[in-house]
Chain A
Amino acid sequence: MSQREFFRQMPGQSGASLSPGLAERIHLDAPLLAGLLLLMLGGLTVLYSAGGESMELVIRQCIRFGAGLTAMFVLAQFPPRSYRFWAPVIYTIGLVLLVLVLVAGTEAKGAQRWLSIPGLGRFQPSEVMKLAVPAMVAWFFSERTLPPKLIDVVGALLLLGLPAMLIGLQPDLGTAILIAASGLVVLFMAGLSWRLIAVAVIVVVTAAPLMYFFVMHDYQRNRVDTFLNPEADPRGTGWNIIQSKTAIGSGGIDGKGWLDGTQSRLDFLPESSTDFILAVLSEEFGLIGVCVLLIMYLIIVGRGFFISWQAQDTFSRLLGSSLTMTFFIYVFVNMGMVTGLMPVVGVPLPLVSYGGTSIVTLLASFGMLMSIQTHRRLIGY
């Protein structure tokens, strides 16, 4: 309390590394914001082409961006301390909601992911958990000494495993894995011993085939089959990945030009404005375009890591680095699946793919990062 007051009373006292400009004063991080806005602008450009020059699609995406930016702004106003305070509460509510989804959720595409709340419309509790799980695990470790003891590791695994399992039951394996990953990143950043990491890797490698045969749903197994051999059924399940690789490969170094990508414009590429939008970008802007996109992502990720590194307490560091890393994992998983490196899991390309609550969640997570950056205390260094 007194620290915050102190900070507020000294607006003019700018340290050499910190100049509180306008952005700083409203708790926004200018470099991060600039990176995000640039990425969004580029994303809209690609979306315009991918959606068949539909302005409507672009406008709806802008509305989503607007909602996301608002969420980002609002979240940035809260100090990390309050996240730490609220994390267990929100996490618990999220768990309850996840159970509710399984009991009373609405079904879409064979999965129960949505919860209809009267007056609020439909919403996906798993989106909340994308933020709540890393915050919760970060909270868990901020209360303990690091590196974590084995018992704490087990505790953290339970914290991230429970929601992941519930989401996996919906079933939404992609989100489940990503949420688990966000928690695991915290674990890793907290200093999980390398020996345990090695054990975990061995366990995963051996468990994967068992998952395939005993746990996965048919549609999930199909995706893996298709990934391993897309040519087996080129007209059916393999179609997406073949057409996507064709789009990317035919783009070459400098691409076919904006609005001139034949694969997407002639409808050969399915889901071209959502999960497979990278193929459109690669086809129209070529390798150069892909590199520019990756650089933008790296700027954002780099800034995120920088913020985490500068953070002043364990909770902020762990949360910030987890959010940043998870963001990058989204990028990698999407690009990996579109280029045929990974099985097709429904992960959108962050801030470029059209639609979804994921945009709001993502921008909200950047709001938390900004909060970490802009609520730092000046003293202590």
Chain B
Amino acid sequence: MRRPLTLKDHHHEQRIFGVRLVVGVFLVLLLTGILVSRMVWLQIFEHSRYTTLSDNNRVQTQAVSPPRGLITDRDGIILAENRPDFSLEVIIEQTHDLDDLLVEVAKLVELDEGDLERFEKRRRAARRPWEPVPLRGRLTEEEIARLVVNQHRLQGLRISADPVRHYPHDILFSHVIGYVNRINAQDLDAMNLDQQRDYAGTHFYGRTGIERFYEDRLHGGVGYRQVETNARGRILRVLEEQPPVPGQDLRLRLSMRVQQAAYDALGDRRGAVVAIDPRDGSVLAFVSRPGFNPNLFVTGISHKDYSAYRNDHDNPLFNRALQGRYPPGSTIKPMLGLAGLDAGVTNWQRSIRDPGYYQLENDPHRYRDWKRWGHGRVDLHLAVVQSCDTYFYDMGFKLGIDRMHDYMNQFSIGQTTGIDLDNESQGLMPSKQWKKAFRNRPWFHGDTINASIGQGFVLATPLQLATATAITANHGKQVIPTLAGERQEVERTDLILQDESNWEKMTNAMVDVTGPKGTARIMAVDAQYPIAAKSGTAQVFSVGQDETYNEDELAERMLDHALMVSFAPADKPAIAVAVLVENGRHGGSTAGPVAREVMDAWLLDDAGKLNVPTIFADQVSAEQEPAADSSDAASKETP
């Protein structure tokens, strides 16, 4: 097997090997040099870049959303709060088979198309590994229990609790408090950079009502938390924390008690009630019926619920109190009377004979009074008490539409009231200029006649009527209604009459409206305080053309709207109320009792005795100095 060694030149072989070995050593050193230079490149030249990458890996800055401010009524009853909402999330990286998992989950909790669609979209969006993807919110206790029991089979599922807005009195405050819902890309786009940063961790955004108007105050400021996480996204420790600035709590001027009374008194009828404390403009009640359940909107309203609201003929999503434009009818007669007095076109002594209609010279058209055979001889006082149309046709014609327009503007009719809510309707107080500009038609005498009894072009919201009534109760001192203290700017000044006694006299006439011969006598039965009021009935001239009603419904919806404005106690007003009942026919009998309920709720104490509450500012300062009160009481006991 072995060859003779003599054939091999050992020295030659060894020399070859020696050369090759040297080359080998050289190769080793060369490759080592490459490795070292690679290391130097990575660890010295690229060091800072990779340090950043490494820190980005492990350190995450998380935005911490501030707790949203609570909303209470004036007595501290909670109207909007934050509650934990349990939602189901999936950590995709932990799942074995996502499709299987979804099938399993669907057996335990309800998953609709929308849930799966949203999940799919979020799953495909750019995200960090191990970041949970939300699958469904609003888990019920039962669903949570079912999930927990089966959790061992459902790897990758997680139940998380997040604070979510909750409205404990749901439908009662729907139109005034409004609601929050999920913040969206448009909301963020509309913000500047600072705001966007502030909303970095926020999921909800005030959408309507108080929640929207006071969004800035309720939201608060974002906080930050630097956490170290592992590759699975588990937080190992908090490195740094800057707590969020909680949103401010908001104490409304609303009174739960008055709101409830107004809501209940309206019952199932469509309509609106606005009650204002004329002393400081505080809105005490703000009701529009039918309402909706704001809680449904918070985490995303289901298609079914939303279309139910949208398709409802009663239009529950419509804020009648703020945006409903109704002919004010006779409710504006006291204000027109004051305008007529101040402009000198009438006085308290002047009287006319009312044949049951009014006619212009050289015009055969008869403008009819609501009382077919007329009121006989009527002066201003009686014209208000009995709501005589003929008197106001005559006076309004003499006053003229432009002077009428200017005076009514001072009462906020045709002007926004400046309440702290967005999208307030302006209503409409027509003028010659307006008709030319918007209708491109000249002003006719008949237009003035119609406007004199709050018909024709005149449109007002229930909020405007309540504000106008509060201004009347205040003897012309301006009232800007407010729910939480802020007001929007309005161009109105105090209305100063040449003869200030006219306020008193007009109030007396309005008190007689609730007297035995007045149109609103029903509402003052057994009242413990004098009530000044004016009823109104507004003709419904058209029904929306694209709406379909059956005949009974149509007949009902052609009925007059019933209106009532009132304030009390008449000598020292502490509440002004406007009530609108759609198709309620008679202001005195339908709207009047509602107004009375609202006034009682405010003016009477639990025992049913007259006990006029202090204005909001006094109530707050009294609460802030309880010590002073008790020491007063103590000093009384020990004289």
Contact = CB atoms under 8 A, between A and B. Distances in A.
Contact of B16 (A146, A290, A298, A341): A146
A248 B50 contact: yes
B232 interface: yes
Contacts of A247: 50, 54
Contacts of A246: 50, 53-54, 57
B8 to A, nearest CB: 6
Interface string A238-251: 00000101111111
Interface in B31-69: 31-32, 34-36, 38-40, 42-44, 46-47, 49-51, 53-55, 57-58
A145 B43 contact: no
Interface residues of A, number: 48
A188 interface: yes
A123 interface: no
Contacts of B365: none
Contacts of A185: 24
Contacts of A267: 230-232
Contacts of B10: 314
A291 interface: yes
A251 B18 CA distance: 40
A268 B129 CA distance: 11
B42 A339 contact: yes
A143 interface: yes
B42 A249 contact: yes
Nearest to A322: B24
Contacts of A301: 28
A191 B16 contact: yes
A262 B36 contact: no
A266 B13 CA distance: 55
A286 B32 CA distance: 17
Interface in A179-195: 185, 188-191
Contacts of B236: 266
Interface in A323-370: 325, 328, 332, 335-336, 339, 341
A294 interface: yes
Nearest to B7: A145
B9 interface: yes
Interface in B3-31: 3, 7-10, 12-14, 16-18, 20-21, 24-25, 28, 31
B39 A339 contact: yes
Contacts of B16: 146-147, 190-191
B36 A249 contact: no
B7 A266 contact: no
Contacts of B155: none
Contacts of A143: 3
A235 B126 CA distance: 11
Nearest to B34: A341
B420 interface: no
A305 B24 contact: yes
A288 to B, nearest CB: 9
A302 B29 CA distance: 10
Contacts of A190: 16-17, 20
Contact of B47 (A188, A252, A266, A308): A252
Nearest to A191: B16
B50 A294 contact: no
Interface in B214-252: 228-232, 236
Nearest to A250: B54
A3 B105 CA distance: 80
Interface string B572-607: 000000000000000000000000000000000000
A182 B38 CA distance: 25
Nearest to A311: B17
Interface string A264-291: 0011100000000000001000110011
A352 B469 CA distance: 90
A317 interface: yes
Contacts of B42: 245, 248-249, 282, 339
A302 B57 CA distance: 40
B21 A189 contact: yes
Contact of B38 (A262, A305, A341): A341
A262 B60 CA distance: 14
Contacts of B53: 246, 249-250
B3 A263 contact: no
Contacts of B25: 302, 305
A290 B47 contact: no
B21 A249 contact: no
Given A246-B57, A267-B232, A287-B40, A189 B50 contact: no
A134 B620 CA distance: 96
Nearest to B232: A267
Contacts of A235: 129
A321 interface: yes
A94 to B, nearest CB: 21
Given A189-B21, A246-B50, A294-B32, A262 B39 contact: no
A309 interface: yes
A74 interface: no
Interface in A209-237: 235
A266 B229 contact: yes
A282 B42 CA distance: 10
Contacts of A314: 8, 10, 13, 17
Which 8 pairs between the two chains have the least Cβ-Cβ distance? Answer: A249-B50, A250-B54, A191-B16, A266-B230, A267-B231, A250-B50, A249-B42, A287-B43
30 contacts: A188-B20, A189-B21, A189-B24, A249-B46, A249-B49, A253-B43, A253-B47, A262-B58, A262-B228, A263-B57, A266-B236, A267-B230, A267-B232, A282-B42, A286-B43, A287-B43, A290-B36, A298-B32, A305-B28, A309-B18, A309-B21, A314-B8, A314-B10, A317-B14, A318-B17, A321-B17, A321-B24, A325-B28, A328-B31, A332-B35
Interface of B: 3, 7-10, 12-14, 16-18, 20-21, 24-25, 28, 31-32, 34-36, 38-40, 42-44, 46-47, 49-51, 53-55, 57-58, 129, 228-232, 236
Given A146-B17, A249-B54, 8 more contacts: A249-B43, A253-B44, A262-B228, A291-B36, A314-B8, A314-B13, A321-B21, A328-B31
Interface of A: 143, 145-147, 185, 188-191, 235, 243, 245-253, 262-263, 266-268, 282, 286-287, 290-291, 294, 298, 301-302, 305, 308-309, 314, 317-318, 321, 325, 328, 332, 335-336, 339, 341
